[in-house]
Amino acid sequence: MDFKYQTVKEVYETFLADTESTIPSELKTKYLGKKGKVKQLLKDVGEKPKDERANFGKEINTLKHFIENKIGQLSVQTKAKFSQDQIDVTAPFDINTSQENKPKLLNKVGSKHILNQELENILNVFEKMGFDIEESRQIDDDYNMFTALNFPIGHPARDNWDTFWTEEGYIPPAHTSTMQNRVLKSYKIPIRVVVPGRCFRNEATDASHEHTLHQIEGVYVDKDISMGDMFGVIKEFLEGIFEANLQIKIQTGYFPFTEPSAEIMISCPFCKTRGCNICSYSGWIEIMGCGMVHPNVLREGCIDPEEYTGFAWGFGLDRVVMMKYGIDDIRKLHSGELEFLDQF
Ligand code: DAH
Rounded Cα distance between 38 and 135, Å, is 76
In short, whether 184's Cβ falls inside 6 Å of ligand 1 is: no
Instruction: Please tell me whether residue 150 adopts helix, strand or coil conformation.
Output: coil
Q: Mean pLDDT across the stretch 18-41?
A: 91
What's residue 270's pLDDT?
Answer: 79
- How many C-beta atoms lie closer than 10 Å to residue 220's C-beta? 22
Nearest protein Cα to ligand 1, atom 2: 314
Q: Which helix (H) or strand (E) holds 73?
A: helix 50-85
In short, whether 173's Cβ falls inside 6 Å of ligand 1 is: no
* Mutate-to-test residue for ligand 1 from 313, 317, 320, highest number of ligand atoms within 8 A of CB: 313
Q: Which atom of ligand 1 is nearest to the CA of 289?
A: 7
In short, whether 290's Cβ falls inside 6 Å of ligand 1 is: yes
Residues 299, 184 contacting (CB under 8 angstroms)? no
Q: Mean pLDDT across the stretch 239-244?
A: 76
What's residue 86's pLDDT?
Answer: 63
Residues 278, 267 contacting (CB under 8 angstroms)? no
pLDDT tens readout for residues 100-155: 666 666 666 678 899 999 999 999 999 999 999 999 999 999 999 999 999 988 88
What's residue 98's pLDDT?
Answer: 55
| Average pLDDT along the chain | 89
37-44 vs 6-19: helix crossing angle, rounded to 10? 180
CB under 8 Å, gap of 24 or more: what pairs does 3-6 form?
3/59, 3/62, 3/63, 4/55, 4/59, 5/56, 5/59
Ramachandran region, residue 150 (left: φ > 0; alpha: ψ -120 to 50; beta: rest): left
In short, whether 311's Cβ falls inside 6 Å of ligand 1 is: no
pLDDT tens readout for residues 58-81: 999 999 999 999 999 998 887 777
Nearest protein Cα to ligand 1, atom 12: 313
Task: Show Cβ contacts of residue 198 under 8 Å, excluding neighbours closer than 6 positions.
Answer: 136, 138, 212, 213, 214
What's residue 62's pLDDT?
Answer: 93
Query: How far, in Å, are 32, 197, 200, 208, 250 from residue 316 at the CA level?
Result: 74, 10, 12, 11, 17
Phi, psi of 75, rounded to the nearest 5 degrees = -70, -30
Q: Which atom of ligand 1 is nearest to the CA of 293?
A: 13
Q: Which atom of ligand 1 is nearest to the CA of 175?
A: 4
Choose the CATH number for 114-341 among 3.30.499.10, 3.40.50.300, 3.30.930.10, 3.40.1190.20: 3.30.930.10
In short, whether 214's Cβ falls inside 6 Å of ligand 1 is: no
Query: How far, in Å, are 33, 103, 108, 246, 319 from residue 89 at the CA level?
Result: 37, 11, 16, 46, 36
What's residue 82's pLDDT?
Answer: 66
What's residue 161's pLDDT?
Answer: 86
Q: Tell me how far the alpha carbon of residue 319 lies from the centroid of ligand 1, in angstroms.
A: 14
What's residue 159's pLDDT?
Answer: 85
What's residue 148's pLDDT?
Answer: 97
Rounded Cα distance between 314 and 177, Å, is 7
In short, whether 36's Cβ falls inside 6 Å of ligand 1 is: no
In short, whether 327's Cβ falls inside 6 Å of ligand 1 is: no
What's residue 46's pLDDT?
Answer: 87
Nearest protein Cα to ligand 1, atom 8: 314
Instruction: Please tell me whether residue 27 adopts helix, strand or coil conformation.
Output: helix
Asked if residue 213 has pLDDT above 80, the reply is yes
Pairwise pLDDT comparison (43 vs 173), residue with the higher score: 173
Q: Tell me how far the alpha carbon of residue 114 lies from the centroid of ligand 1, in angstroms.
A: 23
Q: Mean pLDDT across the stretch 217-226?
A: 97
Beginning with the edge strand found earlier in the chain, give each strand of the sheet holding 212-222 in spatial order: 132-133, 191-200, 212-222, 309-316, 284-293, 258-267, 248-253
pLDDT tens readout for residues 255-284: 999 999 999 998 887 788 898 887 889 999
Residues 144, 178 contacting (CB under 8 angstroms)? yes
In short, whether 291's Cβ falls inside 6 Å of ligand 1 is: yes
216 pLDDT tier (thresholds 50, 70, 90): very high
What pTM did the predictor assign?
Answer: 0.69
Pairwise pLDDT comparison (109 vs 10), residue with the higher score: 10
- Domain-wise residue ranges, the chain: 6-101, 114-341
What's residue 154's pLDDT?
Answer: 86
Q: Tell me how far the alpha carbon of residue 56 lies from the centroid of ligand 1, in angstroms.
A: 98
Q: Tell me how far the alpha carbon of residue 225 lies from the centroid of ligand 1, in angstroms.
A: 18
Rounded Cα distance between 270 and 89, Å, is 41
In short, whether 330's Cβ falls inside 6 Å of ligand 1 is: no
Q: Which atom of ligand 1 is nearest to the CA of 177?
A: 1
Asked if residue 21 has pLDDT above 80, the reply is yes
